[in-house]
Structure 1
């Protein structure tokens, strides 16, 4: 089929806009890389500056357009073409005196392995090794855990149970609605064993690799499972390597507290607050917003005011998501009075409320109620684990 360059480009744009892998692959191999052996630039062609002689189309491709092609190939797990495009792109860049490996290309390489289904897919150990290669290199821009959340979420969601795990149908499920095998890691025992095994393997790798993997795992569990699942994961990490839990930073606690916001575990919220402050982590506005959302279960007045008081010890004014969080609080009772009088002298405002804002506020059973239920049994069960994982002296 003989098409002119403009039509090929229109087809490519349509494929990119719809994330259509077959179309993008067809245009890339048959048109963009036409004239190159096996749709890739050889070292000889790069060194001898034969690229323009082989294909003027490739020469005309902008880096941003090639990056979009690379993104589609990686998102569909085509590890072979992903690597071929990167190698070809870099041969060209190096010959032209351009830059070396950068963050975006490293991320695309890892993504392609996360999405790959060839031969059963890339193992988690292989992905950890790949992340480790880039963690130890000086990559322009630096890879951070959030760069890999989407791809790693896909990989975690498609985790394959062993024969023994698949037969264990009675295993407790972290999130009951996922019973039926939709998410293998929803099984509490499977999640625990997976986290332990992965961390035992990762102990020989670079600390940055360990931190990236932990952030990705906590983000997945917080997003697709629940707070009890996060505590189960933390328990496994603590068992496998106590020291890595002590090194958890803001990114990990963002995932932890996000999962908390969807639960009713008020006691756990208090423990997280105490622990973070004990290790020098200043809770952000978003973190306080999540803690307050957690506190909005049954008797909410005193726990909400307790977290608001701590918020204003750390932040002078309402910032970010806290503005909307406070605006959404009920307009009745002490919380309503607080909202209407919120101003410059907040210390005096808290004093005027007539209650002592201490830890007992978290479980106080006075004042108005919400319709959302407080599940005390789950809260106490998770708290018992957290007191071991995150000791507060």
Structure 2
């Protein structure tokens, strides 16, 4: 026998007129000149469909441009070359927030122009800006200065220590949101610089790549300076971080978190994480918690989390890979998390059809359950309208 994976997705049998129109528009995007005014919400839906199709070109991208735009998100701009981004800045001069995914065309000529041409820009998010070199980042930070409130960068091999120094020197006072994810040169020496960013509310320093990792002491020192104002913290993907970061760093210095992500941090222990949840600020309610792919975490960690009076605030939870978590601890999910929307219990061996049933009945707002690798969850597991269940293993004969 071999296994196949079954997903139970709740889809509308009859699509709304708006949904049908959006799909038709996306299919015939090259005829966009005849479309007229569509509206911002529907524009975003069209942008997501085009991203799946990789259909956004220099010509069709103009559908999303407007002199009145203050925010613009394009989910796949991999087919846009540098001149197309100069067109973007010219046709959207009032942008305050700009997000570009798969933006290989953002090179060293384009990046500084975001600061000089978009004079109201305060937030920039880039995914995959591989061609922008260090001098361009430095020029961008110098040009935008104290206007910059949010900077999110994912997958960039060029950003280096000098860039970080320029970011801090020019933007530290105004910066409230910083993401450096999959930035290959990220290391401990950067962290003393970031201590000047005392206005930060959201900080992500994740997945530097390979065996690279930040270490305990520099992280603890950073949190001792900026942690008081943090609401979101993501330190995923650091193979050398240990329990001390939570016990000596987060507990005393970052008491106001609503989001915590420490996935793929394999040295975290069940006893240490349980101690963290037990001793962390009783008034702080985690709404988003992701600690997947940490093989030592198990029953005590989950029990300590769900024993907190504020566990009722949890909206999204991932304990993927907590293999040895006992059934009794998992059952607490249905009675402790009434606000839960999304749950990932992948590779939790005790998860079964009965647990799915309890979650569906005990968590009235649940929308999505992921159970990949849970071979006790079968095709006979309960379902509920409006809830998507992903990863059910079904048996099929060869």
TM-score class normalised by the smaller sequence: 0.3 to 0.5
* TM superposition score normalised by structure 1: 0.41
> Which structure has the highest helix share of the two?
1
Question: Whose radius of gyration is greater, 1 or 2?
Answer: 1
